[in-house]
Amino acid sequence: MRYVGIDFSINSPGICEFSNNTYNFTSFTNMDPARLHKKKIADSLLIYKKLVDDSPIDLNWYQRHPSEKIYHLDQMYKMIDANNMAQSISSSIKPFTNELFIGLEGYSYASKGNSFIELISFNSVLRNYLLNNFLLTECTELNITVFSPSEVKKHAGKGNANKNDMFKYFLETKDEELLNSKFYKWILENMLLIFNKDGSVKKPIDDLIDAYFICKKLRDSFSL
C-alpha cells in the first residue's frame, strides 16, 4: 500500500508519502534557487539552503508568472501555472498503481479574500488532474479522499489547532516510522532554523507537517 498526503498551497505545496514502512517528504517551492547562491541571503531562505545541503526531503523549484496588470493575461498565466503545478505534483507521486491512496485537505470555508479564491482555483485544477489523468484511466481502484481541515487537525490533536500546534503534535509523535525518518531527525537537529521572528513555523516546514498529518489520517482511515 502507498499512502500520499498532499497539503496544497500556492507557494509551497507539501507531500508526505508512506510506503514500505518509510515516510518520504517532497516540497514544491515558488522560488528561483539561484537566490540561495548569493553572498548574502535573507534569513527566511537559510532554511532552504540547509534543506538543500542536508537533503532530508526532495525539493522541487518552480516559478509562477508575475502578476499582470492586463486582466485577461493575468488570468491566462494563472491557468498555465495551475496546470503546471498539477502536472508536477502528480508526476512526483508516480508510478500510479492500484493500492495507491491519496489524501487531500478540503477548503476552510471560514477563509475569504482573493488569495483564498486563487487557492481554490489552483487546488481544483489539481483535483481535476488527478481525477481525469489517473483515477479514470490508470488506477481503476485508486482512492482519493478529501478530509475536512478539522478532521485532519482533530486527528493530530485538536480540531482548531493552528500551525504551531501542529508542529507541537508533530514533535510529540509516537509514530515509530516518523521517528525514524530523515525529515523528523533533521527537524530535531535544526530547531533554531524552524521559526520566524514572530514565532510562527517557517515554510516549507509547516506545509510538510500538515502533509504528514493528512497522510497519517489517510493511513489510519484505510487500515481499520
CB atoms within 10 A of CB 113: 8
pTM over 0.85: yes
Which range of residues forms the domain containing residue 24?
A: 2-222
Domain count, the chain: 1
Share above pLDDT 90 across residues of the chain, in percent, rounded to a whole number: 73
Q: Are 147 and 101 in contact (CB under 8 A)?
A: no
- Determine the pLDDT at residue 141: 59
Provide the sign of the torsion angle of the four alpha carbons 15, 3, 135, 106, taken in this order. negative
- Determine the pLDDT at residue 135: 63
CATH, residue 207: 3.30.420.10
Q: Are 78 and 118 in contact (CB under 8 A)?
A: yes
